[in-house]
Structure 1
Amino acid sequence: MTSEITLFVNPAAGRGRGAHAARPAACALRAAGFTVHTVVGADAGDALARARAAVAGGTGALIAVGGDGLAHLALQAVAGTRTPLGLVAVGTGNDLARALGLPVRDPAGAALLVADALKGARIRDIDLGLVGDRWFGTVLASGFDSRVNDRGNRMRWPTGRARYDLAMLAELAAFRPVPYRITFDGGDVREIEATLVAVGNGSSYGGGMRICPGADPADGLFDVTIVGDCSRRTLLRVFPKVYRGTHVDHPVVGVHRAAEVRIAAADVSAYADGERLGRLPLTARCVPGAVRVVGP
C-alpha cells in the first residue's frame, strides 16, 4: 500500500471540533511515516468530488475527520473500491465509529490507531446499505424519528442536541401512527400501523441510541426494528430504553432480518446516517463487503 493517504476534513463537525481535530490527526499520521494530503471542500458536493478524485488517483486510504455526516459522504467516495476508509470521529453522533469499535472524540488516538492498523494491514470488509445510488453505514430511519429530524432541521434555535430534544417533544404532541407497507426480500407486502421503522446495518443512530441492537455490519443482513402502533405514554416508556437496546423486549417492538427491505408510507421522510434521503417509498439493499475499513 502506498504511504500517501488523504485526510478528508469537515471543519464544522461537532461545532468546530473537525477543524481542531485535523491538525493532531495529521501530525500523528505524519509521525507514523505517512504522507498526508488534506481535502476540504467548499460544500458537500465539492468535498465529495475532491474525495472521489483522491480515490481515483490511488490514495492509500481516505481518513474522514468529522462526524457521521462526513463519514456518510466518505462512503460515497470509497464504496465499491479497494480504498480503505479510516475514521477520526469528532462529530456529535459518531455512530459509524462506535459500530466499528473506534475511538470517539480522541483525534490523536484515533489517528494513531489508523496508522497502526494501516501498517499492520488490519483492514476488513463490512456491509453497507444501498438506496438508489446512496450508500449508508449505520441506520435508515423513517417515521417518528425521521419527523423529529425534519422538525429539528427546520428550527434555528436552540442549537446542538437541545434542538432535537425540543423537536422530539413537539413531535410527541402531534404524532399519530403511520400506515406502512413493508416487503422483506421480495415477499408479500405487509400492511401495518407503526410508529417507526428503522433499517440497521449498524446498531445505533443519534449518538448511541441502539435502535437495532443486534445489527452486525458484516453478516449480509439488515436488522429491521419496527415500533408498532402505540400510545404516547407507551412511546415515552419505550423510547428511553433505546440507549440500552432493551426496547426490543417490549411487546410493541418487533425485529426482522432481511437483505432487502421495501418501505412505503405517505408523507414520511427517510434519513440514513443522519442525512436526508427523501420521501418514501424506497428500497434498501444490504451489499455484503461493500467497503474496506481500517479497524482495531
Structure 2
Amino acid sequence: MTSEITLFVNPTAGRGRGARAAQPAARALRDAGYSVRTILGEDAPDALRRAREAVEAGTGALIAVGGDGLVSLALQAVAGTPTPLGIVAVGTGNDLARSLRLPVRDPAAAGRAAAEVLKGGGGRDIDLGRVGDRWFGTVLASGFDSRVSERGNRMGRLAGRFTYDAALLAELAALRPVPYRLTLDDGETRDVEAILIAVGNGDSYGGGMRICAGAELDDGLLNVTVVAACSRTTLLRVFPRVYRGTHLDHPKVTVHRASSVALAAEGLTGWADGERVGPLPLTAECVPGAVRVLAPRPPADRR
C-alpha cells in the first residue's frame, strides 16, 4: 500500500467544521508517517470526479472529512475498489461513523484511529446497499421521513437552523398513509398501507435514529422496517423510541430481512445516506463486502 493518503474535504460541513477538521486529521496521519494530500471540489460532481481520480491513481486510502453527504460521495468513489475508506466525522448526523464505532467530532482522534488501522494492515469489509449505480451505507428512507427531507430541501435556508423542525411539523399536519407495493428477494409482492418503509444496510439515520435497529453492516442482508398506517398521536408516541430502537416492538411496526428490496408507491422520493436518490419505484440490493473501511473489527460476541 502506498504511503500517500488522500483527505477528501467538505469545507462547509458542520458550519465550517470540515475545513477546520482537515488540519488536525492531516497532522495525525503525518505524525504516523503518511504523506497527505487534500482534495476539495467546486461542487458535488467536481468533488466526486477528483475523488475518483485519486482512487484510480492508487492512493493508499480516501479519508472523508465532513458529514454524511461527503461520506456518501466518497462511497461512490471507493465502492467496488480495493481502496479503503476512512471517515473523519464532523457533520451533524455521522451515522455511518457511529455504526463503525469511530470518533465523532474529534478529527485528531479520527486521524489517529485511521492511521492505527492502516499501520495494522487491517480494517474491515462491510456491505453496501445499491440502488441502480448509487451506493449507500446506512438507510434508504421512503414515506414520512423522506417527505420531511423533501420539504426541508425545498425550504432551503428559509427556516435557518430550524428547517428540519419546520418540515417535520408540516408533514405531521399532512400525515397520511401511503399504499406501497413491497417485494422481497423477487418473491411475493405485498400491498401495504404504511407511514414509511426504511431499508437499512446500517441501523440508523438522522443522527442516531435507529429506525432499522439490529441491522448489521456485514451480514449480507438489508433490514426493512415498515411502520403501518397509524394516527398522528400513535406516531408521536412511538417516535421517541426510535433513538433506542425499541419502536420495533410496537404492533404497528414490522421488520423483514432480505438481500433485495423493491419499493413502489406514487408520489414518493427515496433518500439514502441523507441524499436524494430519486422517485419510487426503486430497488435496493445488498452487495456484500463492497468496501473496506478504516475501522476496528467488531467484537466476536456482538450478536
Shared fold (TM-score, shorter chain, > 0.5): yes
Which residue does 1:157 correspond to in 2? Answer: 158
Percent of paired sites with the same residue: 72
Deviations 1:158-180 (A, max 9, x none): 223x2111211110001110000
Which residue does 2:259 correspond to in 1? Answer: 259
Find the aligned partners of 1:217 and 1:285 in 2 and give their Cα distance: 13
Find the aligned partners of 1:159 and 1:66 in 2 and give their Cα distance: 20
Residues 275-286 of structure 1 aligned to structure 2 (within 5 Å): 275-286=275-286
Aligned AA for 1:238?
V
> How far apart are 1:27 and its partner, in Å?
1.0
Q: Secondary structure at the match of 2:283?
A: strand
Moved more, 23-32 or 263-272: 23-32
> How far apart are 1:129 and its partner, in Å?
0.3
Q: Secondary structure at the match of 1:176?
A: coil
> How far apart are 1:157 and its partner, in Å?
2.8
Which residue does 1:83 correspond to in 2? Answer: 83
Find the aligned partners of 2:154 and 2:124 in 1 and give their Cα distance: 38
Deviations 1:227-268 (A, max 9, x none): 001011101111111111110010000010000000000000
Aligned AA for 2:159?
P
Which residue does 2:125 correspond to in 1? Answer: 125
Residues 1-150 of structure 1 aligned to structure 2 (within 5 Å): 1-150=1-150
Which residue does 1:211 correspond to in 2? Answer: 211
Deviations 1:2-37 (A, max 9, x none): 110100000001111101101111111111110001
CA RMSD of aligned residues (A): 0.7
Find the aligned partners of 1:285 and 1:135 in 2 and give their Cα distance: 10
Find the aligned partners of 1:159 and 1:20 in 2 and give their Cα distance: 22
Aligned AA for 1:292?
R
Q: Secondary structure at the match of 1:64?
A: strand
Normalising by structure 2, what TM-score? 0.96
Find the aligned partners of 1:41 and 1:232 in 2 and give their Cα distance: 42
Find the aligned partners of 2:249 and 2:102 in 1 and give their Cα distance: 28
Find the aligned partners of 2:279 and 2:34 in 1 and give their Cα distance: 43
Which residue does 2:192 correspond to in 1? Answer: 192
Find the aligned partners of 1:25 and 1:157 in 2 and give their Cα distance: 33
Which residue does 2:175 correspond to in 1? Answer: 175
Deviations 1:196-255 (A, max 9, x none): 000000010000000001000100000100000101110111111111111001000001
Find the aligned partners of 1:88 and 1:225 in 2 and give their Cα distance: 29
Query: Following superposition, which runs of at least 4 residues in structure 1 exceed 4 angstroms of deviation?
Result: none
Q: Secondary structure at the match of 1:122?
A: coil
Find the aligned partners of 1:158 and 1:281 in 2 and give their Cα distance: 31
Find the aligned partners of 1:215 and 1:78 in 2 and give their Cα distance: 22
Aligned AA for 1:157?
L
Aligned AA for 1:199?
V
1:248 aligns with 2:255: no
1:166 aligns with 2:166: yes
Find the aligned partners of 1:290 and 1:123 in 2 and give their Cα distance: 13
Q: Secondary structure at the match of 2:254?
A: strand
Which residue does 2:221 correspond to in 1? Answer: 221
Find the aligned partners of 1:121 and 1:68 in 2 and give their Cα distance: 25
Find the aligned partners of 2:44 and 2:81 in 1 and give their Cα distance: 20
Which residue does 2:300 correspond to in 1? Answer: none
Find the aligned partners of 1:95 and 1:101 in 2 and give their Cα distance: 10
> Number of residue pairs matched?
295
> How far apart are 1:46 and its partner, in Å?
0.5
Find the aligned partners of 2:122 and 2:103 in 1 and give their Cα distance: 16
> How far apart are 1:99 and its partner, in Å?
1.0
Structure 2 gap ranges (5+): 297-303
Structure 1 gap ranges (5+): none
Moved more, 115-124 or 205-214: 115-124
Find the aligned partners of 2:192 and 2:141 in 1 and give their Cα distance: 16
Q: Secondary structure at the match of 1:214?
A: coil
Find the aligned partners of 1:109 and 1:102 in 2 and give their Cα distance: 9
Aligned AA for 1:44?
A
